[in-house]
Structure 1
Amino acid sequence: MTDDVEKTLKSFMKHFGALNRDIPDARNAFTDLQKTVHKDGALSAKFKEIICIVASILSPCEECMVYHTKQAITLGATREEIMEACS
C-alpha cells in the first residue's frame, strides 16, 4: 500500500478511536451494524463493499473510499470489478 493510503487509513481509524472514547455506545452500535450488513446474504460481502465504494465516491468521502476499497480487495474483489462498478 502506498504511504497516502496508509496515512488515510490511519486517520480514519483514529476517528473511530475518538468515537470509542467519547461515545462508546454509538461506536459499538455502528460496529454491530457494520458486522450485520457486511456479511454474506443475498449479496456477497464482497459485492456489498463494492457498493460502499460507489456510495463513498458519490458522498464524497475519501477515507470511506480507501477503507471500503481495502475491505473489498481483502474479500477478493478484483481491480476490474471495482473499476466497472465505479464507471
Structure 2
Amino acid sequence: MAADYISMAADISKQTAVLKQDIPETMAGFYAMAGGADKAGALDSKTKEYVALGIAVSTRCDPCIAFHTRALVKMGVTKAEFEEVLGTAIYMGGGPSLMYAAHAMEAFEQFSAK
C-alpha cells in the first residue's frame, strides 16, 4: 500500500509543533540551522531542496521525502527535474535508493494532485 505523504507531512508537523513547545531551545536551534542552510547563496533554494530530496531518498526517510517533495512542488519543480534528482539518488544509493525513489514519486503525485 502506498504511503499517504500529504497526511504524513501534516502528522509530522503536528508532532514537531509539540516539540517546538516542549523543547523550544532545541527546536529554535534546528530551525535556525535549517534557515541558514536553505537560504539562497551560491546555490538557489530549489537546488538545495534537490540535495535534501536526494539525501532523504538515500537515507530512506519517508517523512523527509514528504517535506522536501512538498517544498519542491510549491517551488514549481517539473516531473522531469524531479525524476533527474531521483536518478542521481538511485545512482548513488543503488537498489535501496530505487525503492525509496518510488516512494518519492508517490509523494510527488500526491502533492501535485492538490
Tell me if the contact between 1:50 and 1:85 (Cα under 8 Å) persists in the aligned partners. Answer: yes
In structure 2, stretches of 5+ residues that fail to align are 88-114
Show the 5 A alignment for 1:1-87: 4-87=4-87
How far did 1:80 drift? 1.0
| Residues 25-74 of structure 1: CA deviation (Å, up to 9, x unaligned) | 01111111111111211111001001101100111110100100111122
TM-score by length of 1: 0.88
In structure 1, stretches of 5+ residues that fail to align are none
CA distance in 1, matches of 2:47, 2:73: 11
Secondary structure of the equivalent of 2:35?
helix
TM-score by length of 2: 0.69
Equivalences, count: 85
Secondary structure of the equivalent of 1:28?
helix
Larger RCO: 1 or 2 (CA < 8 Å, sep 6+): 2
Superposition misfits of 4+ residues, deviation over 6 angstroms = none
